[in-house]
Amino acid sequence: MKVEFLDLKAQYEGIKDEVDSAIADVLRGGKFILGEEVLRLEEEIASYCGVKYAVGVASGTDALVLALRVCGIGEGSSVITTPFTFVATVEAIFRVGAKVIFCDINPQTLNIDVSKLHEKITGDTKAILPVHLYGHSVEMISLMEAARKHNLIVIEDAAQALGGECEGKKLGSFGKAGCLSFFPTKILGAYGDGGMVVTDDEKLQDMIRLLRAHGSKQKYNCETRGYNSRLDELQAAILRVKLKKVDTWITLRRNIAKLYREQLEDTGVIVPFEAKYAKHVYNYYCLRCRQRDKLKNYLASKQIQTAIYYPVPLHLQDGFKSLGFKRGDFPVAEKMAEEVLAIPIFPELSDTHVHCVADAIRSFYR
Ligand SMILES: *Cc1c(COP(=O)(O)O)cnc(C)c1O
């Protein structure tokens, strides 16, 4: 039985009528940039995340860049983050001209190890950029405490974690700003690129609105050097249809995770951890396993697609050689990069498929 890693066509089949009509409405309306749909979506996402403001931008990466910039992070500042994340997190820090400081991860959550933060703080440290990897919360209560103590700004990378929670509070709503991605494979995915910054800070949201549209409130009067980074109307209209389903989809993801956990119990693989404080949204379901690459090939031979998030920690990637790190500098991240394997999870995945994946994993280790 073939098991796709992610089947976006199946999702579209379930919402086709609503999506098609939302798209047609935008086309008929003739307004494609920063119209009603973007405004409504911004209100809806702000309310969903439990914050006052949300600003739509062109991608999750841009959400990070703009959030860093409006928080005053640039040359001369350093930002603490995890080496075990998607490249965009660190790319954003580079793009505003700040210095990257890596802090190793916790082997259970695979998120930044909050107990190691204080060793990393220096005089020019201005911010912490925690990433809620795979949809599982960073230990935000102690992270916020550490940030307050050292007077650091917190910007959350919640690109994989829309709907996720820490102690009942939505991820993205803890820091000065939270960054969301609407890349098609994320929890709330557009049919193209898109992103959003969520915040309670009115000044901050005003500045992001200014920066995303060339730094000009009035046409042809540039107040500050900006960007062209807007979420477009078509994507916003599509996302508004999907946002109404997102809690149901998260529940389905959590049910699949529960079934995997039961099915994989006796196989020797380590299933994803969900801390007491966390509500995991399982954007990815990443196992830790022995003989990972062999298992991946074996599953491929059974037509089961898998993926690796992430095979090489950022400090060992060529593009970041200039940071001067070497193997051994972040041993937990390095070990995890050799063990993690993401198996299929998406709301439309059937129980039969889950059983099929689990059976294949069991037969590999037998
Ligand atoms: C997807 C992702 C981003 C970037 O989002 P884009 O919308 O693709 O630019 C940033 N950080 C993490 C952790 C991500 O998974």
**What CATH code is carried by the domain that includes residue 269?**
3.90.1150.10
Q: Tell me the average pLDDT of the chain.
A: 97
CA dist 144 → 80, 139, 155, 173, 356 (Å): 13, 9, 11, 11, 42
Whether 326 and 195 map to the same domain: the answer is no
What pLDDT score was predicted for residue 278? 98
284 CA to centre of ligand 1 in angstroms? 13
Tens digits of residue pLDDT in 161-217: 999 999 999 999 999 999 999 999 999 999 999 999 999 999 999 999 999 999 888
227 CA to centre of ligand 1 in angstroms? 18
Q: Is the CB of 159 under 6 A from ligand 1?
A: yes
Torsion angle (degrees, nearest 10) of CA 13, 19, 20, 25: 170
Nearest CA to ligand 1 atom 14: 159
Residue 148 lies in a domain: yes
Q: At what angle do helices 292-301 and 351-365 cross, to 10 degrees?
A: 130
The mean per-residue pLDDT over the stretch 11-29 comes to 98
Whether 216 and 272 map to the same domain: the answer is no
Whether 17 and 92 map to the same domain: the answer is yes
Whether 82 and 216 map to the same domain: the answer is yes
Residue 202 lies in a domain: yes
Whether 72 and 220 map to the same domain: the answer is yes
Residue 3 lies in a domain: no
Judge whether residue 53 has pLDDT over 90. Answer: yes
From 90, 112, 160, the mutation candidate for ligand 1 (largest count of ligand atoms within 8 A of CB) is 160
Nearest atom (ligand 1) to Cα of 193: 7
Residue 188 lies in a domain: yes
> What does the alpha-carbon distance between residue 357 and residue 361 come to, in Å, rounded to a whole number?
6
Tens digits of residue pLDDT in 220-254: 888 888 999 999 999 999 999 999 999 999 999 99
**What 8-state DSSP symbol labels residue 188?**
S
Phi, psi (5° rounding) for residue 149? -60, -40
Host domain of residue 281: 246-365
Which of the listed residues 243, 278, 312 is the one where a domain comes to its end? 243
Phi, psi (5° rounding) for residue 344? -55, 135
Q: Is the CB of 157 under 6 A from ligand 1?
A: yes
Nearest atom (ligand 1) to Cα of 64: 10
Whether 307 and 294 map to the same domain: the answer is yes
Q: Is the CB of 306 under 6 A from ligand 1?
A: no
CATH of the domain at 169: 3.40.640.10
| CB 152, CB 272: distance < 8 Å | no
> What does the alpha-carbon distance between residue 159 and residue 157 come to, in Å, rounded to a whole number?
6
3-class DSSP assignment, residue 53: strand
Beta bridge partners of 125: 78
From 57, 65, 181, the mutation candidate for ligand 1 (largest count of ligand atoms within 8 A of CB) is 181
Which of the listed residues 243, 272, 304 is the one where a domain comes to its end? 243
What pLDDT score was predicted for residue 224? 86
Compute and round to an integer the Cα radius of gyration of the chain: 21
User: What is the percent of the chain where pLDDT is above 70?
Assistant: 100
The mean per-residue pLDDT over the stretch 14-32 comes to 97
What pLDDT score was predicted for residue 219? 81
195 CA to centre of ligand 1 in angstroms? 9
Residue 2 lies in a domain: no
The helix or strand, by DSSP H or E, that contains position 362, with its residue range, turns out to be: helix 351-365
Whether 227 and 251 map to the same domain: the answer is no
181 CA to centre of ligand 1 in angstroms? 6
Q: Is the CB of 60 under 6 A from ligand 1?
A: yes
Whether 228 and 260 map to the same domain: the answer is no
Tens digits of residue pLDDT in 112-150: 999 999 999 999 999 999 999 999 999 999 999 999 999
What pLDDT score was predicted for residue 222? 84
Whether 194 and 299 map to the same domain: the answer is no
3-class DSSP assignment, residue 54: strand
> What does the alpha-carbon distance between residue 77 and residue 101 come to, in Å, rounded to a whole number?
10
Whether 152 and 52 map to the same domain: the answer is yes
Whether 254 and 298 map to the same domain: the answer is yes
Residue 1 lies in a domain: no
User: What is the percent of the chain where pLDDT is above 90?
Assistant: 96
What pLDDT score was predicted for residue 177? 98
Nearest atom (ligand 1) to Cα of 183: 7
Q: Is the CB of 82 under 6 A from ligand 1?
A: no
Nearest CA to ligand 1 atom 7: 60
Which of the listed residues 191, 216, 243 is the one where a domain comes to its end? 243
The mean per-residue pLDDT over the stretch 280-290 comes to 98
> What does the alpha-carbon distance between residue 114 and residue 187 come to, in Å, rounded to a whole number?
25
The mean per-residue pLDDT over the stretch 296-325 comes to 96
Nearest atom (ligand 1) to Cα of 194: 7
Residue 254 lies in a domain: yes
From 112, 183, 286, the mutation candidate for ligand 1 (largest count of ligand atoms within 8 A of CB) is 183
Q: At what angle do helices 8-29 and 233-243 cross, to 10 degrees?
A: 130
> What does the alpha-carbon distance between residue 299 and residue 353 come to, in Å, rounded to a whole number?
13
- For every residue of 109-150, DSSP letters joined together read T-SB-GGGHHHH--TTEEEEE-B-GGGPPP-HHHHHHHHHHH
Q: Is the CB of 156 under 6 A from ligand 1?
A: no
Q: Which long-range contacts (CB under 8 A, 24 or more apart) does 23-28 make?
A: 23/234, 23/237, 23/238, 25/237, 26/233, 26/234, 26/237
Whether 159 and 75 map to the same domain: the answer is yes
What pLDDT score was predicted for residue 266? 87
191 CA to centre of ligand 1 in angstroms? 15
CA dist 175 → 37, 96, 141 (Å): 26, 19, 11
Phi, psi (5° rounding) for residue 301? -65, -20
248 CA to centre of ligand 1 in angstroms? 23
Report the number of distinct structural domains present in the chain.
2
Residue 168 lies in a domain: yes
